[in-house]
Amino acid sequence: MHIDQETLILDAAYHCISRDGYAHTSLRHIAKEAGVALSQISYHYQSKEGLLLAVVARAANKYQNYMAQNFEPKMTSKEKGERFIAMFQEVLEKDPGVFRVIYDLAGLAMWSEPLRKKVQEVFAEMIDGIREIFDTKELQETKPDFSAEALSIGFSGGLFGIAIQSLLQPERKEICDSLKTLAIIFGESTEIQQK
Protein backbone atom coordinates (compact mmCIF):
# COMPACT_ATOMS: atom_id res chain seq x y z
CA MET A 1 0.00 0.00 0.00
CA HIS A 2 1.40 3.38 -1.05
CA ILE A 3 1.22 6.21 1.50
CA ASP A 4 1.47 9.73 0.12
CA GLN A 5 4.07 12.19 1.41
CA GLU A 6 1.53 14.40 3.12
CA THR A 7 0.32 11.47 5.24
CA LEU A 8 3.89 10.32 5.95
CA ILE A 9 4.75 13.80 7.21
CA LEU A 10 1.62 14.07 9.33
CA ASP A 11 2.17 10.62 10.84
CA ALA A 12 5.78 11.49 11.63
CA ALA A 13 4.85 14.86 13.15
CA TYR A 14 2.18 13.26 15.34
CA HIS A 15 4.59 10.54 16.44
CA CYS A 16 7.45 12.99 17.16
CA ILE A 17 5.24 15.42 19.10
CA SER A 18 3.54 12.66 21.13
CA ARG A 19 6.96 11.17 21.96
CA ASP A 20 9.18 14.26 22.39
CA GLY A 21 6.84 17.26 22.69
CA TYR A 22 6.45 20.16 20.30
CA ALA A 23 9.30 22.19 21.82
CA HIS A 24 11.77 19.34 21.23
CA THR A 25 10.57 18.48 17.73
CA SER A 26 12.11 20.23 14.76
CA LEU A 27 11.03 20.09 11.16
CA ARG A 28 14.31 18.26 10.48
CA HIS A 29 13.34 15.55 13.00
CA ILE A 30 9.95 15.20 11.34
CA ALA A 31 11.44 15.04 7.84
CA LYS A 32 13.94 12.39 8.96
CA GLU A 33 11.20 10.34 10.68
CA ALA A 34 8.97 10.61 7.59
CA GLY A 35 11.83 9.82 5.21
CA VAL A 36 11.20 12.93 3.11
CA ALA A 37 13.14 16.03 2.17
CA LEU A 38 12.72 18.97 4.54
CA SER A 39 11.35 21.08 1.67
CA GLN A 40 8.36 18.69 1.38
CA ILE A 41 7.06 19.82 4.78
CA SER A 42 6.92 23.42 3.57
CA TYR A 43 5.34 22.29 0.31
CA HIS A 44 2.51 20.41 2.05
CA TYR A 45 2.04 22.42 5.27
CA GLN A 46 3.70 25.83 4.63
CA SER A 47 5.18 26.10 8.16
CA LYS A 48 5.65 24.33 11.48
CA GLU A 49 2.46 25.98 12.71
CA GLY A 50 0.57 24.76 9.64
CA LEU A 51 1.78 21.26 10.35
CA LEU A 52 0.83 21.68 13.99
CA LEU A 53 -2.73 22.64 13.00
CA ALA A 54 -2.92 19.41 10.98
CA VAL A 55 -1.66 17.46 14.00
CA VAL A 56 -4.44 19.02 16.12
CA ALA A 57 -6.96 17.82 13.55
CA ARG A 58 -5.33 14.35 13.64
CA ALA A 59 -5.64 14.17 17.46
CA ALA A 60 -9.28 15.24 17.22
CA ASN A 61 -9.96 12.60 14.58
CA LYS A 62 -8.38 9.90 16.75
CA TYR A 63 -10.64 10.96 19.60
CA GLN A 64 -13.73 10.97 17.36
CA ASN A 65 -12.84 7.49 16.08
CA TYR A 66 -12.62 6.20 19.64
CA MET A 67 -16.06 7.71 20.30
CA ALA A 68 -17.61 6.21 17.16
CA GLN A 69 -16.24 2.74 17.95
CA ASN A 70 -17.50 2.69 21.52
CA PHE A 71 -21.03 4.07 21.53
CA GLU A 72 -24.34 2.84 20.26
CA PRO A 73 -27.46 5.01 20.00
CA LYS A 74 -29.55 2.60 22.10
CA MET A 75 -27.28 2.90 25.16
CA THR A 76 -28.68 4.68 28.22
CA SER A 77 -26.93 7.76 29.59
CA LYS A 78 -25.57 5.70 32.46
CA GLU A 79 -24.20 3.06 30.06
CA LYS A 80 -22.69 5.76 27.85
CA GLY A 81 -21.10 7.44 30.86
CA GLU A 82 -19.65 4.18 32.15
CA ARG A 83 -18.39 3.29 28.66
CA PHE A 84 -16.92 6.76 28.20
CA ILE A 85 -14.98 6.50 31.47
CA ALA A 86 -13.74 3.00 30.57
CA MET A 87 -12.79 4.16 27.05
CA PHE A 88 -10.95 7.20 28.38
CA GLN A 89 -9.04 5.04 30.85
CA GLU A 90 -8.16 2.53 28.13
CA VAL A 91 -6.87 5.25 25.81
CA LEU A 92 -4.90 6.85 28.62
CA GLU A 93 -3.26 3.52 29.44
CA LYS A 94 -2.70 2.25 25.86
CA ASP A 95 -2.30 5.41 23.77
CA PRO A 96 -1.25 8.25 26.09
CA GLY A 97 0.34 10.05 23.14
CA VAL A 98 -3.14 11.31 22.19
CA PHE A 99 -3.30 13.20 25.49
CA ARG A 100 0.31 14.36 25.34
CA VAL A 101 -0.40 15.94 21.97
CA ILE A 102 -3.64 17.52 23.18
CA TYR A 103 -2.03 18.99 26.30
CA ASP A 104 1.06 20.18 24.44
CA LEU A 105 -1.07 21.88 21.82
CA ALA A 106 -3.43 23.39 24.40
CA GLY A 107 -0.43 25.01 26.10
CA LEU A 108 0.87 26.36 22.79
CA ALA A 109 -2.60 27.66 21.93
CA MET A 110 -2.32 30.22 24.72
CA TRP A 111 0.14 32.16 22.52
CA SER A 112 -1.11 31.56 18.98
CA GLU A 113 -4.48 32.83 17.78
CA PRO A 114 -4.82 30.38 14.83
CA LEU A 115 -3.85 27.47 17.06
CA ARG A 116 -6.14 28.70 19.85
CA LYS A 117 -9.11 28.68 17.47
CA LYS A 118 -8.32 25.16 16.29
CA VAL A 119 -7.82 23.83 19.84
CA GLN A 120 -11.08 25.54 20.91
CA GLU A 121 -12.84 23.68 18.07
CA VAL A 122 -11.33 20.37 19.23
CA PHE A 123 -12.43 20.90 22.83
CA ALA A 124 -15.88 22.07 21.70
CA GLU A 125 -16.27 18.84 19.70
CA MET A 126 -15.21 16.80 22.72
CA ILE A 127 -17.67 18.58 24.98
CA ASP A 128 -20.43 18.17 22.39
CA GLY A 129 -19.76 14.42 22.38
CA ILE A 130 -19.92 14.35 26.16
CA ARG A 131 -23.05 16.55 26.19
CA GLU A 132 -24.92 13.82 24.33
CA ILE A 133 -24.40 11.61 27.40
CA PHE A 134 -25.99 14.20 29.70
CA ASP A 135 -28.60 15.65 27.38
CA THR A 136 -31.30 13.14 28.27
CA LYS A 137 -34.58 13.41 30.11
CA GLU A 138 -33.52 10.86 32.75
CA LEU A 139 -30.39 12.77 33.75
CA GLN A 140 -32.07 16.16 33.58
CA GLU A 141 -34.72 14.86 36.00
CA THR A 142 -32.11 13.56 38.46
CA LYS A 143 -29.84 16.61 38.16
CA PRO A 144 -32.32 19.49 37.67
CA ASP A 145 -29.92 22.11 39.07
CA PHE A 146 -27.40 21.53 36.29
CA SER A 147 -27.71 21.95 32.55
CA ALA A 148 -26.34 19.31 30.19
CA GLU A 149 -23.71 21.90 29.22
CA ALA A 150 -22.58 22.40 32.85
CA LEU A 151 -22.45 18.64 33.48
CA SER A 152 -20.47 18.13 30.26
CA ILE A 153 -17.91 20.78 31.13
CA GLY A 154 -17.53 19.47 34.69
CA PHE A 155 -17.22 15.87 33.52
CA SER A 156 -14.65 16.72 30.83
CA GLY A 157 -12.70 18.85 33.31
CA GLY A 158 -12.56 15.88 35.68
CA LEU A 159 -11.48 13.54 32.89
CA PHE A 160 -8.72 15.78 31.62
CA GLY A 161 -7.56 16.77 35.10
CA ILE A 162 -7.14 13.13 36.08
CA ALA A 163 -5.49 12.37 32.73
CA ILE A 164 -2.82 15.05 33.16
CA GLN A 165 -2.05 13.79 36.67
CA SER A 166 -1.71 10.27 35.26
CA LEU A 167 0.67 11.46 32.53
CA LEU A 168 2.79 13.29 35.09
CA GLN A 169 2.87 10.31 37.48
CA PRO A 170 2.39 7.16 35.36
CA GLU A 171 3.76 4.95 38.14
CA ARG A 172 0.71 5.79 40.31
CA LYS A 173 -1.93 3.46 38.83
CA GLU A 174 -4.55 4.67 41.31
CA ILE A 175 -4.65 8.04 39.49
CA CYS A 176 -5.90 6.43 36.28
CA ASP A 177 -8.21 4.18 38.31
CA SER A 178 -9.73 7.29 39.90
CA LEU A 179 -11.50 8.02 36.60
CA LYS A 180 -14.19 5.63 37.87
CA THR A 181 -15.05 8.12 40.61
CA LEU A 182 -16.57 10.37 37.95
CA ALA A 183 -19.41 7.86 37.67
CA ILE A 184 -20.86 9.50 40.78
CA ILE A 185 -22.43 12.01 38.41
CA PHE A 186 -24.68 9.20 37.18
CA GLY A 187 -25.49 7.88 40.67
CA GLU A 188 -25.03 4.29 41.76
CA SER A 189 -21.26 4.76 41.74
CA THR A 190 -20.66 1.73 43.98
CA GLU A 191 -21.73 -0.57 41.14
CA ILE A 192 -19.00 0.85 38.87
CA GLN A 193 -16.33 0.76 41.58
CA GLN A 194 -16.92 -2.96 42.09
CA LYS A 195 -16.31 -3.80 38.40
Q: What is the pLDDT of residue 161?
A: 92
CATH of the domain at 8: 1.10.10.60
Q: What is the separation of C-alpha 13 from the centre of its chain, rounded to a whole number of angstroms?
A: 17
Q: Which domain holds residue 91?
A: 53-193
* Confidence grade of residue 193 (pLDDT, cut at 50, 70, 90): very low
Q: What is the separation of C-alpha 157 from the centre of its chain, rounded to a whole number of angstroms?
A: 12
Mean pLDDT of 46-54: 85
* Confidence grade of residue 150 (pLDDT, cut at 50, 70, 90): confident
Q: State which amino acid sits at residue 27.
A: L
Structure pTM?
Answer: 0.76
Instruction: Measure the CA–CA gap between 67 and 195, rounded to whole angstroms.
Output: 21
Mean pLDDT of 85-105: 86
Tell me what percent of the chain is helix, strand and coil, each rounded to the nearest 5: 80, 0, 20
Same domain? 80 vs 147: yes
Same domain? 20 vs 91: no
Same domain? 99 vs 123: yes
Same domain? 75 vs 167: yes
Query: pLDDT exceeding 70 applies to what percent of the chain?
Result: 91
**Residue 178: which of 151, 195, 158, 154 has the closest Cα?**
158
Same domain? 125 vs 29: no
- Cβ atoms of 40 and 5 within 8 Å: the answer is yes
Torsion of CA 156, 103, 175, 133, to 10 degrees: 20
Same domain? 129 vs 77: yes
Say which residue, 19 or 74, is predicted with more confidence: 19
CATH of the domain at 94: 1.10.357.10
Same domain? 58 vs 41: no
Same domain? 157 vs 182: yes
Q: What's the structural domain count of the chain? A: 2
Instruction: Measure the CA–CA gap between 89 and 71, rounded to whole angstroms.
Output: 15
